[in-house]
Amino acid sequence: MDLQYPIGRAELPTAPLSATERTACIQQIADLPAQLLAAAKAVGGEALQQPYRPGGWSGRQVIHHLADSHLNCYTRFRLALTEDNPTIRPYDEKAWAELPDVAATPITVSLALLEALHARWVTLLHHLDEAQWQRTFYHPGMEREFTLDQALVLYAWHGRHHLAHVESLRGR
């Protein structure tokens, strides 16, 4: 098993998603908070302090990272829906994972944040029309433009990717 990419790498669509594909991705985003909570409980507090792979983040850092990352993505969706191809602000996710609040804040705070954030995000996603899914933002760190369809696929994958990291800590 590839410890860094346990579910494989993200594959972004080159054409607009079908309604069925969108619904599946939105459901994955909707399901993540409860799945992550269940995984964190199953792993337990002490094991969450361990890295999921040599040189990787601890389970605790992964959970806080998901809250940080998905909050940024939600903001990117809103920017793309209200501005014409905005250039988003990248952030240093590795540096964010080392900030003192990650060690000092209980994971329950980020789990609650994810639950509330995903409820709001999923509501937004269910109300987008076809044209809105093709709106874009530019990511200067990746030097590329993303449609909201592509961002949806990427972040549905992102949640499953890090959920697999947390789940891999079970029994360690």
CATH code of the domain containing 128: 1.20.120.450
The answer to the question of residue 5 being in a domain is no
- For 81-144, the DSSP string reads HHSSSPBP----HHHHHTSHHHHHS-HHHHHHHHHHHHHHHHHHHHT--HHHHT-EEEETTTTE
Beta-strand ranges (E) seen in 73-159 are 136-139, 144-147
The answer to whether residue 14 sits within a structural domain is: no
- Is the residue at 33 inside a domain? yes
**Residue 59 lies in domain:** 19-167
pTM for the whole thing?
0.96
Per DSSP, the three-state class of 127 is coil
Average pLDDT, stretch 128-157?
98
**Alpha carbons 107 and 37: distance in angstroms, whole number:** 9
- Diameter over CA atoms, the chain: 48
Report if residue 2 sits inside a domain: no
Q: Is the residue at 150 inside a domain?
A: yes
For residue 157, is pLDDT > 90?
yes
| Mean pLDDT value across residues 122-144 | 98
**Residue 3 domain-assigned (yes or no):** no
CA angle 11, 65, 172 (to 5 degrees): 90
pLDDT, tens digit (0-9, with 9 covering 90-100), for 51-101: 999 999 999 999 999 999 999 999 999 999 999 999 999 999 999 999 999
Question: Is 172's pLDDT higher than 90?
Answer: no
What does residue 88 show for φ and ψ, rounded to 5 degrees?
A: -80, 165
pLDDT of 1 reads 66
Q: What is the mean pLDDT of the chain?
A: 97
Identify whether 4 is part of a domain.
Answer: no
Number of structural domains the chain divides into: 1
- Is residue 13, in this structure, part of any structural domain at all? no
Work out the average pLDDT over 94-120: 97
Mean pLDDT within 123-130: 98
Give the model's pLDDT for residue 114. Answer: 98
